[in-house]
């Protein structure tokens, strides 16, 4: 998870935690605010979802169901 401090980033973070819990995943979910770290993934718009080092979504708040689908395909 990457993004500036704000409502959209918080919403995506909470949805990501809910999706992981729904799937029974115990992996740690990190929330990164550092622009340099975000730049490593080529993120131009936040919030962004990065899974296993791969940028999966940026610039929108995904629903729990959308995140579940992403995690299932990762």
Question: In which residue are the tokens 């936040």 written?
Answer: 46
- Rounded (5°) CA angle 55-12-36: 50
Distance CA 46, CA 60 (A): 7
Domain ranges of the chain: 7-73
**pTM for this prediction:** 0.90
pLDDT recorded at residue 18: 97
Distance CA 27, CA 20 (A): 8
pLDDT recorded at residue 7: 94
Q: What is the mean pLDDT of residues 19-47?
A: 92
Does the domain formed by 7-73 have CATH 3.40.30.10?
A: yes
Q: Answer yes or no: is pLDDT of 4 > 90.
A: no
pLDDT recorded at residue 74: 83
Distance CA 46, CA 49 (A): 9
Q: What is the mean pLDDT of residues 50-61?
A: 95
């Amino acid at each position: 998870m990457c993004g500036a401090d704000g409502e959209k980033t918080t919403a995506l973070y909470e949805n990501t935690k809910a999706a992981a819990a729904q799937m029974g995943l115990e992996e740690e979910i990190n929330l990164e605010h550092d622009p340099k770290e975000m730049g490593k993934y080529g993120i131009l718009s936040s919030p962004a979802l990065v899974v296993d080092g791969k940028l999966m979504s940026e610039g929108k708040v995904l629903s729990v169901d959308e995140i579940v689908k992403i995690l299932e395909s990762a």
